[in-house]
Amino acid sequence: MLTAENVVKDPSEARHGRLSRCERGQTLVIVALLMLALMALLALVLDVGNIYIQRRMVQNAADAAALAGARALALGEDASAVETEAIDYAMQRNAASSCVVSVVSTTVMVTASKTFPTYFAPILGIPAATVNATAQGGQLGYPGSWTGGLMPIAVDKNAVSPGRSIQIWDDGKTVDSKSGATAGGDRGWLYFEGPGASTIRNEIEGGGYGGTVKVGDWIDGAPGVKNSCTGAMSIWINHIVICPVYDEYDAKCQGNECGYHIVGFGAFKVTKIVDKGNPKYIEGVFQNYTVGGRTGGTFDTGVRVIGLKR
């Protein structure tokens, strides 16, 4: 009679049991290797993606720093102040880890960097990564045109000197290109949208002419007295307004109307209005001022176009 103890197992079954245990061990090794490969893949996908994002962020920091430095330089700041401004924009406002700034002529060069921890790359021995970016900002030239916000007052270029206080008189003098402390007749009321004090006054009170004026344009106007227009400028006291700047006027005036040849745009801070008594005038100071946009102007009124050079 056969019993369980007397039954001889099939040798192939015994071998199968040993192989199964061996295969299970091999499977664990394979799974471990696959997990390592998966982690490496995650490191590649996530960390490389994060490096790309951080690289874009540090480029933005360098660009912002270069523009901030260029603006400070165009406004007349010294190299130390320019460097401080650029570093502030790179590190304090845009979270760069470091920033190196150099000033050469009208150009500000910035190198920014950022060091940050990685997510999965530490298993590959890379606990952190560093990205770098460079940018150059500077003065590109003078505005070739201006759109919107132009006051209907043209000022002779000889009266424009940033930092100097001038009085633009409201009188009937012909344009005489004075270069003293007062502009006198070195101004004209511009007829952007037609002649008449009411039209000019509406433009002043409405924030300026909304169209585009280009360097080289001739704008109709006249140097006559318009007391109500002078008084309307009172709303702009302690504000900067943009005035077209001219170098010539049409000597062949028809009646009291002349044409003013525009060579630039000045940033004029209004400080005082006297619209009663004699003389009546608009007092203020031309400012250094920066804008973005297209160049094309040839006369430095203190308004400079800045931008990234690379």
User: pLDDT tens for residues 178-199?
Assistant: 444 445 567 889 999 988 899 9
Q: What is the DSSP letter of 141?
A: E
Per-residue pLDDT, 308: 96
Higher pLDDT residue, 310 or 117? 117
Query: Quick one: average pLDDT of 281-291?
Result: 93
Torsion angle defined by CA atoms of residues 294, 295, 300 and 302, in that order, rounded to the nearest 10 degrees: 20
Query: Quick one: average pLDDT of 288-300?
Result: 93
Q: Residue 251: is its pLDDT beyond 50?
A: yes
- CA dihedral over 224, 229, 231, 237, signed as positive or negative: negative
Helix (H) or strand (E) holding 30: helix 11-42
CA distance linking residue 149 with residue 212, whole number of Å: 9
Per-residue pLDDT, 211: 96
User: What percentage of residues in the chain have a pLDDT greater than 70?
Assistant: 82
Q: Which pLDDT band holds residue 175 (cuts at 50, 70, 90)?
A: very low
CA distance linking residue 156 with residue 40, whole number of Å: 69
Q: Where are the domains of the chain?
A: 11-137, 145-308
Q: Residue 208: is its pLDDT beyond 90?
A: yes
Q: Residue 177: is its pLDDT beyond 50?
A: no
- CA dihedral over 197, 198, 204, 208, signed as positive or negative: negative
Per-residue pLDDT, 171: 63
Closest CA to 190 of 204, 172, 179, 178: 204
Cα 51 to Cα 47, 58, 155, 257: the distances in Å are: 6, 10, 53, 64
Q: What integer best gives the mean pLDDT of the chain?
A: 85
CA distance linking residue 30 with residue 170, whole number of Å: 92
Q: Which among 40-54, 239-253, 296-310 has the top mean pLDDT? A: 296-310
CA 4, distance to chain mean position in Å, is 92
Per-residue pLDDT, 267: 97
Query: Quick one: average pLDDT of 97-102?
Result: 97
Return the structure tokens found at 119: 């997510």
Q: Which among 5-14, 191-200, 243-252 has the top mean pLDDT? A: 191-200
Whether the bond between 152 and the residue before it is cis, its omega within 30 degrees of 0, is no
Per-residue pLDDT, 125: 83
Per-residue pLDDT, 176: 42
- Separation of first and last alpha carbons in the chain: 98
pTM: 0.78
- Lowest mean pLDDT: which of 20-34, 42-56, 81-95, 255-269? 20-34
Q: Residue 161: is its pLDDT beyond 50?
A: yes
**Is the CB of residue 213 less than 8 Å from the CB of residue 243?**
no
Q: What is the DSSP letter of 173?
A: P
Per-residue pLDDT, 180: 41
Higher pLDDT residue, 16 or 267? 267
Q: Which pLDDT band holds residue 291 (cuts at 50, 70, 90)?
A: very high
Burial class of residue 86 in the structure, from the number of CB atoms within 10 Å of its CB (0-12 exposed, 13-18 middle, 19+ buried):
buried
Helix (H) or strand (E) holding 39: helix 11-42
Q: Residue 144: is its pLDDT beyond 50?
A: yes
Per-residue pLDDT, 174: 44
